Structure 1
Amino acid sequence: MPDYDFKSPRLFLDETLEEGRSIAATPVQANYLLNVLRLGEGAGVLAFNGRDGEWLCRIEKTAKKKLDLRLEAQLRPQPKAPDLLYCFAPLKHARLDYMVQKAVEMGAGILQPVMTQHVQAARVNVDRMRANAIEAAEQCGILTVPDCRDPLRLSDLLDGWEEGRALIFCDEKADAESPVETLAKLAEGPKALLIGPEGGFSSDERERLMAQDFSVTISLGPRILRADTAAVAALAVLQAAAGDWRSG
């Protein structure tokens, strides 16, 4: 882990970031900085937009409840976006929020909701999903906001699968063999992870997934996990065995 400032407040600014520019904070951001953190004129704030790296900004108060953020210097360049595609059956409300936040923390670069036969939530609020992804990035020093995509049916996801990308399919009915050993054998290249709903995949879905030449089936152990717990466990195993944890 590189040296990083975890103490300064950090905000996502959906604007071009460049030296000398002043950007008006949103009312929510201004309230957070002025009234929650009680920061004053000239206080330092870190900013990022997912494109231009991380910048040190200074607060410039423009009114009692308004402020600008003046960009002073780039502190970290923009890294390459993670290429891990995280596919998941949506959960309801707070548990989906949690899952999205943890996926961002664990290095997912693309968030793809997948509608399965036993899915719990019939709709997905993509704007809310992106807001949770941004919040996770703000809190954890992440410079890239994942691509938050509209939901797809599982059949459509598989029909349009990207050539050369391996799909790691977490099957609750698979034998409890070591997922680390299975994943360590995967060739280099882009990867995706699929987590199903709490009701599990249907028999037809499992059969189709197992029939794909790009899919690899793993077990997450002898215990039944809630979908949000399974997401964190699977992402950790994947990153440790075949992802960016191997390179530090």
Structure 2
Amino acid sequence: MIRLHVPQPLSAGSAVAPTLDQSRYLTQVMRLKAGDALLVFNGVDGEWRCVVAEVLKKGVILRAQQQARPQAYGPDLELIVAVVKKARVETIVEKAAELGAKRVRLAITQRTNADRIRLDRLDAIAEEAAEQTGRLDVPAVDEPVKLEAILDNWQDGRRLMFCDETGGAPVASAINGPGPWAILIGPEGGFSPEERDRLRSLPFTTAVSLGPRVLRADTAAIAAMTLWQATMGDWER
């Protein structure tokens, strides 16, 4: 069944007005008509079965009928990734949403050299991935911030899995402690010696290895999240 993410509150009998683009998708691409059903979620009120109540010239009105699933959240995992080329950043955001990340934080490192980032485009990619994968929330995507500022303002209690291309412990043996967690992926060319030294000196950081091969940022992000999920995540639910 079609799933749609909306910002409005959801409750029995509530009216929901999708955006114009969403309305066009429902009526022109999916060919929904008045009375047709779909699933809607907002990240707060769970997933609701809705029907198309009205088809207007500019948009549609949906009517919430009953809750299909109560609100639930995945593991408390953030992905921090150095900004790389636009297409690869888009892939990273899409796969992070698919793999259950709560938040994607974009970092500017000493070796960052990449295209301009469009947050609206990345938000749309995260939203579409959430709709397709069945999750009940959409991961936040933060605008780029210098890595040093992210580390200076680190959240108490969150541990950081630092993927170090120069070597580290295997993921399965390195992250056997409680979360919440974050995963850090570096830029093309890797972290600078100064960045690596600081990361290794921090009490909340665990350096891990992703194997003997040098991986591109998007591949490294997918591999790291997969290994974390297999070790600490919600895949056994």
TM-score interval, normalised by the smaller of the two chains: over 0.9
CA distance in 2, matches of 1:138, 1:118: 34
**8 Å contact 2:75–2:233 — kept in the other structure?**
no
The match for 2:154 is 161
The match for 2:178 is 188
CA distance in 2, matches of 1:161, 1:110: 14
Q: CA deviation at 1:150?
A: 2.7
Q: Which moved more, 1:59-68 or 1:213-222?
A: 59-68
**8 Å contact 2:76–2:179 — kept in the other structure?**
no
Q: Which moved more, 1:233-242 or 1:79-88?
A: 79-88
Structure 2 residue 6 is the aligned partner of structure 1 residue 16: no
After TM superposition, the structure 1 = structure 2 runs for residues 212-231 of structure 1, keeping only pairs within 5 Å, are: 212-231=202-221
Identity %: 46
The match for 1:117 is 110
- Amino acid in structure 1 at the alignment position of 2:223: A
Q: CA deviation at 1:65?
A: 5.1
Q: CA deviation at 1:26?
A: 2.0
Structure 2 residue 55 is the aligned partner of structure 1 residue 62: yes
What is the CA RMSD across the aligned residues, in angstroms?
A: 1.6
CA distance in 2, matches of 1:236, 1:118: 26
Q: What TM-score comes out, normalization by structure 2 length?
A: 0.94
Structure 2 residue corresponding to 1:50, chosen from 43, 52, 58: 43
Structure 2 residue corresponding to 1:172, chosen from 153, 165, 168: 165
CA distance in 1, matches of 2:75, 2:171: 22
Q: Secondary structure at the match of 1:150?
A: strand
Map Cα deviations across residues 124-171 of structure 1 (whole Å, 9 max, x no partner). Answer: 332222221111101111111122223221111111112221110001
CA distance in 2, matches of 1:242, 1:13: 30
CA distance in 1, matches of 2:51, 2:64: 7
The match for 2:119 is 126
Q: Which moved more, 1:51-60 or 1:87-96?
A: 87-96
Flag structure 1 segments of 5+ consecutive residues without an equivalent. 1-7
CA distance in 1, matches of 2:58, 2:121: 26
Q: CA deviation at 1:64?
A: 4.5
Structure 2 residue 200 is the aligned partner of structure 1 residue 207: no
Flag structure 2 segments of 5+ consecutive residues without an equivalent. none
The match for 1:89 is 82
CA distance in 1, matches of 2:201, 2:3: 45
Q: CA deviation at 1:123?
A: 4.2
**8 Å contact 2:85–2:115 — kept in the other structure?**
no
